[in-house]
Chains A and B, each alone.
Chain A
Amino acid sequence: MSRLPVEKKVLSENDRIAAGLRERFLAQQLLCLNFISSPGAGKTSLLERTLERLSPSERVALLTGDIQTDNDAKRLARFGFPVKQITTGGTCHLDARMIERALADWPLDSLDTLLIENVGNLVCPSSYDLGEAAKVVVLSVAEGEDKPLKYPAIFFKAGLLILNKTDLLPYVSFDLGKARAYALQVHPGMEIIELSCKTGAGLDDWMNWLARRRESGRAEKA
C-alpha cells in the first residue's frame, strides 16, 4: 500500500471549462455576472428593474437557471433583450458546462454584458465557477441578517452584496447594520448596495455600479 499525493481541484473539469469561458469573455470585452441568492430574495426582480432601465440598443443578454419551468425567462423576455432559460432538471446549481452549451448557438460577439441568474440556492452555486467576472449575492431583508455568517462561502466569494427589499424594513426585525457588519466580517472590504426593487430606492447605486463595471471591462481591453 502506498500513498500518492495528488494536488488537484475536485472540480478541475468545471474550472477548466470556466477558464475557457472567462478567456472568451475577456477577449470580447464582455462583462459576465453570476447572480446568486436563496429562493425569493429577488434576483429576477432585480434583473427586471435593470433591464427596464437599459436602452434597448444595449448589448445585454441573460441566462436564467431554474430546476423546472421557464417562468423567469418569460418574465425577463418582455424587455426585448435576448434571454435563454437553462432548466437543470433537478440540479441545484448551474455549472460551467451548462453555460458553454447554452452559449453554443448564441451571438456572443454581439454582446458586451451577460447576466446569469443562478438557481435559487445560497449554498451549491458558490462552488461552481461559471467564468464570470464577479458573483453578485442578493440577500433580502425578509431573511435573517446572520445569513453571511451561516453561509460564509458565497459571501466570501461574491464581489458585491445587494441588500434587497429595503421597503420591508419597517415590518421586519432585520438589522441592516448587523447584516453589513457580518458580511464585512466574512469578506472584509466587500461592496454593499441597499435597494428596493419595489420602490426603486437605491437602484441608481446598482445601475452606477453596473455601468462602472461594464466600462472598466472595455477599458481593460483597450
Chain B
Amino acid sequence: MHELSIANSILEAVRKERERLNGARVSKVGVRIGELAGVDPEALSFGFEVLVKGTDLEPLALEIESTSRRHECSQCKHVFTVVDYRLDCPACGAKETRCIGGDELELAYLEVEEP
C-alpha cells in the first residue's frame, strides 16, 4: 500500500507547481499511470482524498489516466498495445518487439483557475 506515499508525492508536486505559477488556484491534477507501474488507481484515489482533506490545496480533484503496455516491432516498427502478454507483432508476426511504454507514473496536467 504505497499509494498513500505516492498520493503525498502528487500533493507535494502540485504545491511546487503552484509556486511556479505564482500561487494560482489549482482545481484538478491529472496523472498518468501505466499498467507496469505497480500502482493501484483505486487505492491511489482513496489515499489522495484522505490526504488532501483539510489542506491548503482543498478542493483539489485527481484524474487518473491509465495507460497500457506498448511495444514497437523491431522489424516493421509497428507500435501496438499489448493484450494478455502477447508480445509478437500483430502486423508482421515478428517475435522481437521492444517495450516503449506502460510504466508511467507521471503528472500529466494541472487545471488552473484564471485569476
A residues with a Cβ closer than 8 A to B are: 1-14, 91-93, 95, 123-124, 126-128, 149, 151-154, 156-157, 185-186, 188
Q: Quick one: closest A residue to B44, CB to CB?
A: A10
A81–B60 CA distance with the chains assembled, in angstroms: 49
A156–B99 CA distance with the chains assembled, in angstroms: 10
Max chain B C-beta neighbours (<10 A), residue from A6, A12, A93: A6
Q: Quick one: closest A residue to B40, CB to CB?
A: A123
B residues with a Cβ closer than 8 A to A are: 1-2, 5-6, 9-10, 12-13, 17, 21, 27, 31, 35-39, 85, 87, 99, 103, 105-114
| New A-B pairs, 5, CB < 8 Å, besides A14-B9, A152-B38, A156-B103 | A2-B111, A3-B109, A10-B6, A92-B2, A153-B103
B2 touches A10 (CB 8 A): no
A157–B69 CA distance with the chains assembled, in angstroms: 13
A3–B24 CA distance with the chains assembled, in angstroms: 12
B13 touches A123 (CB 8 A): no
Question: Of the candidates B9, B27, B35, which one forms a contact with A11 in the assembled complex, judged by CB atoms under 8 Å apart?
Answer: B9
B108 touches A127 (CB 8 A): no
| Residues of B contacting A154 in the complex (Cβ-Cβ under 8 angstroms) | 38
A104–B17 CA distance with the chains assembled, in angstroms: 30
Max chain A C-beta neighbours (<10 A), residue from B6, B36, B99, B108: B36
Whether A185 contacts B85 in the complex (CB less than 8 A), given A10-B6, A10-B10, comes out as: yes
A188–B95 CA distance with the chains assembled, in angstroms: 10
Whether A123 contacts B2 in the complex (CB less than 8 A), given A149-B85, A153-B36, A153-B38, comes out as: yes
A10–B103 CA distance with the chains assembled, in angstroms: 12
Max chain B C-beta neighbours (<10 A), residue from A10, A92, A95, A185: A10
Question: Of the candidates A1, A11, A14, which one forms a contact with B112 in the assembled complex, judged by CB atoms under 8 Å apart?
Answer: A1
| Residues of B contacting A124 in the complex (Cβ-Cβ under 8 angstroms) | 1-2, 5, 38
| Residues of A contacting B114 in the complex (Cβ-Cβ under 8 angstroms) | 1-2
A5 touches B109 (CB 8 A): yes
B107 touches A6 (CB 8 A): yes
B36 touches A3 (CB 8 A): no
A6–B39 CA distance with the chains assembled, in angstroms: 20
Nearest Cβ on chain A to B57's Cβ, whole angstroms? 15
A188–B113 CA distance with the chains assembled, in angstroms: 46
B17 touches A6 (CB 8 A): yes
A9 touches B106 (CB 8 A): yes
A6–B105 CA distance with the chains assembled, in angstroms: 12
A11–B6 CA distance with the chains assembled, in angstroms: 7
Question: Of the candidates B36, B105, B110, B113, which one forms a contact with A152 in the assembled complex, judged by CB atoms under 8 Å apart?
Answer: B36
Whether A127 contacts B6 in the complex (CB less than 8 A), given A2-B112, A13-B12, A154-B38, comes out as: yes
B37 touches A127 (CB 8 A): yes
| Residues of A contacting B21 in the complex (Cβ-Cβ under 8 angstroms) | 4
Nearest Cβ on chain B to A96's Cβ, whole angstroms? 12
Nearest Cβ on chain B to A74's Cβ, whole angstroms? 26
Q: Quick one: closest A residue to B87, CB to CB?
A: A188
